[in-house]
Amino acid sequence: MHYRLLGQTGIEVSIVAMGTWAIADSFTWGKQDEDDARAAIEVALEVGINFFDTAEGYGAGRSEELLGEALAPHRREVVIASKVSQHNLNRAAVREACEASLRRLQTDYIDLYQIHWASRETPLAETWEALAELKAAGKIRAIGVSNFGLQDLTEALAAGPVTSNQVPYNLLWRAIEHTIQPKCVAHGVGILAYSPLMQSLLTGKFASADEVPETRARTRLFSTARPHTRHGEAGQEAAAFAAIDAVRNISREVGASMAEVALAWVAHQPGVASVLAGARNPAQVRQNSAAAGLTLAPDVIEALNRATDPLKQALGPNPDMWLSESRYR
Ligand SMILES: NC(=O)c1ccc[n+]([C@@H]2O[C@H](COP(=O)([O-])OP(=O)(O)OC[C@H]3O[C@@H](n4cnc5c(N)ncnc54)[C@H](OP(=O)(O)O)[C@@H]3O)[C@@H](O)[C@H]2O)c1
């Protein structure tokens, strides 16, 4: 495993982290065997993954509970990132949410505490003060944000040091490249790349859009005719699957799996501190962790960029994976 610094904190995190949304959200992902989830976390530790991302919102706290149980004996060796939900951003709610996360995680500190989505009701200054108090009390070590666009990021940078911005970033979802990534790089805000496998599409497990289960076909890649979409767009199914085919061919030439190539591509991009790969069982963790050691030659990165550029242009600068009217500001 290889490690990078998390923003300006001095905390070292594995280039490939383990994302733990899918182990606790059966609606989107299908039934999870919790023994598999526990075993996946054990294997993550074994292969050198020291960075785990969760949120109070994942499975109404179940993801934090599973992580807390598995990581309790290893607490000092790992870096835990959690998130406070959008509806919990007033002063009192932030404090309560943090205490509840600490209990579920069986710890007395969270390494990185992130605002999951910016509030449009509570002023950011109020939330930030509450977070700064938690930091001063030693309950959190660093403050991060998630799904912050330029305006929100500018406000946050004025409020205090912003360790990281957790945003969607993968070969099929490159919207942050337009303005958010350059801003993060300019200000030393670490990018934590979420959905780096585009929710499993980049593993190559689906040959066409029709094969993707409805609950997983919710993003703006898919036609608004899919029952769980919440946007009104025609979708980009043809362009997405053309890009997936190209990634498959390039991966073959590289001699690595699509998942490894897709994750390695994210890790090679400017400003990326860690790639938050979701995994539901030990085999997925092992394969994903291998991406940390895969160096892609400049011509391979260029070929991947070229293959996915038409999709990037078609989707435009809105980073919101689910809504046309972007919640990013
Ligand atoms: N801040 C936010 O708003 C936000 C939003 C989304 C995600 N996140 C974070 O980012 C993490 C990762 O994102 P994500 O879960 O959306 O998607 P992802 O990492 O792009 O995809 C993960 C899914 O792909 C499949 N998979 C993973 N590795 C595989 C492999 N090697 N071979 C085959 N299939 C594999 C698994 O599902 P199956 O086995 O079921 O196919 C897994 O659940 C989350 O867990 C969460 O921590 C944050």
To test the pocket of ligand 1, the residue of 199, 215, 275 to mutate (highest count of ligand atoms within 8 Å of its CB) is 199
Per the CB < 8 A criterion, the answer to whether 114 and 81 are in contact is yes
Residue 162 is predicted with a pLDDT of 98
Do residues 17 and 52 touch, judged by C-beta distance below 8 A? yes
Pocket test for ligand 1, best of 200, 216, 244, 257 (most atoms within 8 A of CB): 200
Sequence-ordered strand ranges (E) for 106-209: 110-115, 140-146, 164-168, 190-194
Domain limits, the chain: 3-202+257-295
Which residues have CB under 8 Å from 147's CB, separation 6+? Answer: 116, 117, 118, 166, 167, 319, 320, 327, 328
Burial per residue of 240-255, b for 16 or more beta-carbon CB atoms within 10 angstroms, e otherwise: bbebbebbeebbeebe
Tokens of 200: 């499993």
Q: Along the chain (329 residues), what's the average pLDDT of each consecutive run of 10 residues?
A: 96 98 91 95 98 97 97 97 98 98 98 97 97 98 98 96 98 98 98 98 97 95 95 95 98 98 98 98 97 98 98 97 95
Q: State which fold the 3-202+257-295 domain adopts.
A: TIM Barrel (3.20.20)
Tell me the pTM.
0.97
Query: Does ligand 1 come within 6 angstroms of the Cβ of 289?
Result: no
